[in-house]
């Protein structure tokens, strides 16, 4: 993942997790969506932040990921 800006640091573990996907709304807000929520109902799609503990956290997969717009729609 690219360097985190001040806002993204506030997301906690999700900011550096390989399962998180960055979503930018049409108004410029940034959200992180948990990819684990697609296959495991135990994980919330948009977890309350900051996430400080997560069984699914995977820093090894955190690389540069494409952004998705909220309109284009590409946490425990």
**Could you read off the pLDDT of 45-59 as tens digits, one per residue?**
999 989 999 999 999
**Could you read off the pLDDT of 14-44 as tens digits, one per residue?**
989 999 998 999 999 888 899 999 999 999 9
pLDDT of residue 4: 55
pLDDT of residue 62: 57
pLDDT of residue 72: 41
pLDDT of residue 66: 47
Q: Domain map of the chain by residue range?
A: 6-63
pLDDT of residue 73: 40
Please report the sign of the dihedral spanned by the C-alpha atoms of residue 44, residue 50, residue 51, residue 57.
positive
- Distances in whole angstroms, Cα of residue 28 to Cα of each of 24, 41, 56: 6, 28, 28
């Amino acid at each position: 993942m690219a360097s985190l800006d001040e806002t993204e640091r506030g997301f906690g573990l999700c900011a550096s997790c390989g399962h998180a996907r960055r979503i930018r709304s049409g108004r410029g807000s940034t959200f992180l969506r948990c990819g684990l929520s697609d296959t495991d109902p135990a994980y919330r799609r948009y977890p309350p932040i900051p996430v400080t503990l997560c069984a699914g956290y995977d820093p090894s997969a955190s690389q540069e990921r494409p952004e998705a717009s909220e309109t284009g729609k590409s946490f425990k």
